Amino acid sequence: MMMRATHSIRAIATHLGRAPSTVSREIARHTVDPIKGYDAGLAGYRARLTRHRPRQRPKLHPDGELFE
């Protein structure tokens, strides 16, 4: 909403309490169409798709000596 009101990245970052580089990176990563601009709903969806999953298997065998 602040982007549509033509606030600067620094103003948005200050308002959110984040670093300007973080806001800039988020906008660049999740802006698909430059004409439409940043879409928070789409950004959340894409972030959920690309988030890292925890390991499914432990690195160590549960019955091994190192596991203890």
Query: Is the model's pLDDT at 5 over the cut of 70?
Result: no
Q: Where are the domains of the chain?
A: 1-67
Predicted confidence at residue 19, as pLDDT, reads 96
Give the tens place of pLDDT for each residue, 13-29. 999 999 999 999 988 88
Residue 4: pLDDT band by 50, 70, 90 thresholds? low
Rg (CA), the chain: 19
The answer to whether 38 and 27 have CB atoms below 8 angstroms apart is yes
What is the pLDDT of the chain when averaged over all its residues? 83
